[in-house]
Chains A and B, each alone.
Chain A
Amino acid sequence: MSQGEPVKPTIVVDSRGTMCPGPITDLFKAYRNSNIGDVIELLATDPAAKSDTQAWANRSGNQILAIVDERDHIRIQVKIIKKGRPSAQ
């Protein structure tokens, strides 16, 4: 089931065809190179990408903007609102 309204992403990560932990690994690589305010769009076919990304966003304090069930893949958008130590931001 889809949730949220997608926006224009800053970074698109295409992990379609990879199985766990492929999508979350690709998301972490994008997160490392991201800036506060960026929107990372993760495209995945592995259903575990949904729960893994949600759990990571909850833990890290980043915001899930949208999760869209496309015909043959999942589209997840995460807005980066927290990265690194507060003093380092």
Chain B
Amino acid sequence: MKNNPINIFVVGGGTGGTLAANLLAKHLRSDIRAGRAQVHLISGSDTRHIFQPGYLHVAFGNLDPHEIMREENELVNHEVHLIQKDAARFDLDRKEIVLMSGEKITYDYLIIATGSVADPTIIPGLGEAALNFHTSPEESKKIWNALERFDGGHVVIGVAGVPHKCPPSPNEGAFLLDDYLRKRGVRDKAKITFVTPYPRSYPAEPMSKVVTPLFEKRGIELVTFFNVESVDPVKHEMYSLEGEAISYDLLIMVPPHRGANVVKNSGIGDTDGWIPTDKHTMRISGHDMEYAIGDATNIPVSKTGVTAHLEAIVAVKNILTSLTNQNVQYEYTGRINCPFEMGSGKASFVVGSYEMPVREIQPNKLRYFMKRTFANFYWRTLSGTWDWLLGVYFGETCKKVTTEIGTSEVS
């Protein structure tokens, strides 16, 4: 390692960014204390860290929003220099981050973990007409408030546009909505319709074979190939690009997502603001010292906290091997593992990787227990000290590859 301190910056204080900063601090602790390295986390001016899967339970289970929030500074290793300011743009050629304040920061290594934005404004009328559980705890709470007042009618729930984070979440919302209305004794006064742009109830066919029979059993109607074009909040009608219309009394839709403004403003994303990234090494395409992880990338895996977590590990390992001039690199296998709640206290998981297509996994109570246990465990996983346990559960998540000879092993 060279004499001047190496400055490693992580931008974004969500699951991937927080874990990446903590892992770097953990592995570089002696170098940080000796002044040879510094790890900085630019986490944004909103000091809250939100466990986003919890939105579902705020919306459909009356969970107190405070239960899914912690202050970011309580979650960050004390060796990390936490900067709670907003980044305005990146200049990767100059190795520079510009803050909203105008301050310019130079880095040696950069991990961009700026996430995605659920943006109802992409579709005319959607923001005015629909409730959602993807933009904030406060918006999620509005669904619960509306459900408490609901005494019958047509509830339309689903996916307004693609892509969106947490692929199972719209289906989960439909199942928990059904559970809630049954518990209230008003299910017979309600019609539930699940609307999706995809050809089937769940995008990956093996899991749709699990979901569709459950929808039928619960009387949840399914409308496929419905890409929302616009919504008329006055007429209570939603229109599709395919030329169809559906009327509603209560509308709950997952907005389409886009990349963060800081990415769009930097000109480093594609037209939707996703950063072109090597799907194995997590390096930003065309760059050696810059990485992107989590929702911010364009890689073809689900945008979820689990993938952000696993990608953070890969990016950190590659930075550490680069610092010590090892002729190895780590490659993400595309492992996904999305918990999928299906009502009645049962859950499944969506499991796959680049080489292993998603397979059919039926819901049961044990998997529900696992999902809820993981949710409770989430805050501890951000420290990185429990990765050995997650490794036992996840199995192959990244491969160690020698860059000269080409032999590899699974870690």
Chain A residues engaging chain B, CB cutoff 8 angstroms = 17-22, 24-25, 28-29, 31-32, 48, 52, 55-56, 59-61, 82-86, 88
Contact = CB atoms under 8 A, between A and B. Distances in A.
Interface of B: 161-163, 197-199, 203-205, 224-225, 227, 229, 239, 241-243, 245, 272, 300, 352, 354, 357-358
B243 A22 contact: no
B203 A59 contact: no
A55 B197 CA distance: 12
Contacts of A29: 162, 272
B300 A32 contact: no
Given A20-B204, A29-B272, A32-B161, A85 B243 contact: yes
Contacts of B198: 21, 24
B162 A85 contact: no
Contacts of B358: 19
B203 A61 contact: no
A17 B300 contact: yes
A82 B243 CA distance: 8
Given A18-B300, A22-B300, A24-B198, A31 B227 contact: yes
Contacts of A17: 300
A86 B197 CA distance: 19
Which 5 residue pairs of A and B lie closest in terms of their CB atoms, listed nearest first?
Answer: A21-B203, A60-B242, A18-B300, A59-B225, A25-B162
A88 B227 CA distance: 15
Contacts of B203: 20-21, 24-25
Nearest to A18: B300
Given A20-B204, A22-B300, A60-B243, A84 B162 contact: no
Given A24-B199, A29-B162, A32-B227, A19 B300 contact: yes
Contacts of A83: 241, 243
A3 B59 CA distance: 48
B239 A52 contact: no
A86 B198 CA distance: 22
A32 B241 contact: yes
Given A24-B199, A82-B243, 19 more contacts: A19-B357, A19-B358, A20-B204, A21-B203, A22-B300, A24-B198, A25-B203, A28-B162, A28-B197, A29-B272, A32-B241, A48-B205, A55-B225, A56-B225, A60-B242, A82-B242, A84-B239, A85-B243, A85-B245
